[in-house]
Amino acid sequence: MGYQGNFRVWRGDADGGGLEDFTVEVNEGEVVLDVIHRLQATQAGDLAVRWNCKAGKCGSCSAEINGRPRLLCMTRMSTFTEGETITITPMRTFPIIRDLVTDVSFNYTKAREIPSFKPPKGLAPGEYRMQQVDVERSQEFRKCIECFLCQDTCHVIRDHEENKEAFAGPRFLMRVAELEMHPLDEGGRVDAAQEQHGLGLCNITKCCSEVCPEHIKITDNALIPMKERVADRKYDPIVWLGNKIFRR
């Protein structure tokens, strides 16, 4: 049975805006994106929302529902009670374009700062050989749909605009870890993770892993192992001596 649901949606642009109240029909089996589409169709034709697949796979419909970073298409209306007011706001960490749409180009900038896979010299594609266990390790990270909800939630940049320059964010630190764990990569990622991508700013709050719609264990399987590699390098006496001799 359908009902009339209460919604509060952020409307505005880069110059400012605010929450507007709407009453919208909700039907059985619907997700929040269905309601947003109905709102567009019936009351707010110019409401801006980004979406594409409606199947949790394109990573476009990221927003915040009751303050929590979520995919609009994967949040079932049945998780709320009928009388509840549901507040939908754009991702807070990125600049507003309009309504629920933000400018996520920060993430593409960070992606470009990571040098690509560097195979050993003399090996051509097709000649790479690696253990299945190594393939599986990076498989988890490859599930990423680039929704940037982890980037949105991480307090290092969510509350500190000034950290954006120095911090790649969980999604891209995970990419660095993926390459570092690749047995054939010769990119030498450990020092760069700390010095260029800001790994040291992560204090393991794990909020990124909590909001990931793909349930990737970003902190446990990528960030912490990467921090361990940084620590190993720093306190390894041979590396320490090498740094002393060659960096003078």
Residues of this chain that interact with ligand SF4 (CB under 6 A) are: 144-150, 171, 211-214, 216, 218
* 216 binding partner (options ligand FES, ligand F3S, ligand SF4, none; Cβ < 5 to 8 Å by kind): ligand SF4
Please provide the size of the chain in residues.
248
Q: Does 60 bind ligand FES (CB under 6 A)?
A: yes
Q: Does 52 bind ligand FES (CB under 6 A)?
A: yes
Choose which of 20, 25, 30, 56 interacts with ligand FES (CB under 6 A): 56
Q: Tell the residue number behind the tokens 């051509």, with chain if given.
A: 124
Q: Tell the residue number behind the tokens 């560097």, with chain if given.
A: 118
Structure tokens at 139: 């498989």
Phi, psi (degrees; rounded to nearest 5) at 240? -60, -45
- DSSP alpha helix (H) spans, 154-206: 155-158, 170-181, 190-195
Least separation in angstroms between residue 211's CB and ligand F3S is 9
Choose which of 26, 37, 47, 51 interacts with ligand FES (CB under 6 A): 51
Contact 137, 181 (CB under 8 A): yes
Measured from the CB atom, the residue of 163 and 243 that comes closer to ligand F3S is 163
Q: Does 100 bind ligand FES (CB under 6 A)?
A: no
Residues 167-196 that bind ligand F3S (CB under 6 A): 170
3-state helix, strand, coil in the chain (%, to 5): 40, 15, 40
Q: Does 206 bind ligand F3S (CB under 6 A)?
A: yes
Contact 32, 65 (CB under 8 A): yes
Q: Please identify, among the stretches 15-23, 47-55, 70-78, 206-214, the one whose residues bind ligand F3S according to the rule CB under 6 A.
A: 206-214
